């Protein structure tokens, strides 16, 4: 292999690598969008399920009151409601559940005060 040939194949390799990096970057963007969309759908699905449940069990308030009466002993660690538990799960999986950045990915799992307020804050 002469020097010119060596140089050419090196340039070739460099170009291929750059193309591949660009492609990887593109795929990463696509994947992020899919994950975000998935989180959104999961939240929407959860809301719809809860709404359906409400419609199907008109006596749910009485049942909830009974249940909270039974678990009255451990008031110090109140159970999260089902929807909040789901939001917590999504948050722990690395997604925002706050209204500002709803469904988008938390960069490097950085904590978000708005999300924490939605999950653990006072009842709105």
Given the rule CB under 5 A, which residues bind Zn ion?
96, 98, 101, 112, 114-115
Sign of the alpha-carbon torsion through 67, 69, 70, 73 = positive
**Residue number, 59 or 110, with CB nearest to Zn ion:** 110
Cα(112)–Cα(116) distance, integer angstroms: 6
**Distance in Å, CB of 69 to Zn ion, minimum:** 34
**Residue number, 35 or 55, with CB nearest to Zn ion:** 35
Q: Which residue is nearest to Zn ion (CB)?
A: 112
**Residue number, 87 or 98, with CB nearest to Zn ion:** 98
């Amino acid at each position: 292999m002469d020097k010119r040939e060596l140089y050419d194949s090196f340039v070739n390799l460099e170009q291929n690598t750059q193309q591949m990096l660009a492609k990887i970057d593109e795929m990463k963007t696509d994947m992020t969008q899919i994950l975000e969309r998935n989180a959104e759908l999961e939240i929407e699905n959860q809301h719809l399920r809860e709404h359906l449940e409400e419609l199907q069990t008109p006596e749910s308030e009485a049942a909830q009151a009974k249940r909270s009466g039974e678990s009255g002993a451990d008031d110090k660690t109140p159970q999260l409601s089902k929807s909040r538990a789901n939001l917590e799960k999504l948050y722990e999986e690395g997604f925002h559940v706050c209204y500002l950045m709803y469904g988008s990915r938390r960069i490097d799992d950085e904590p978000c005060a708005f999300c924490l307020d939605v999950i653990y804050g006072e009842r709105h």
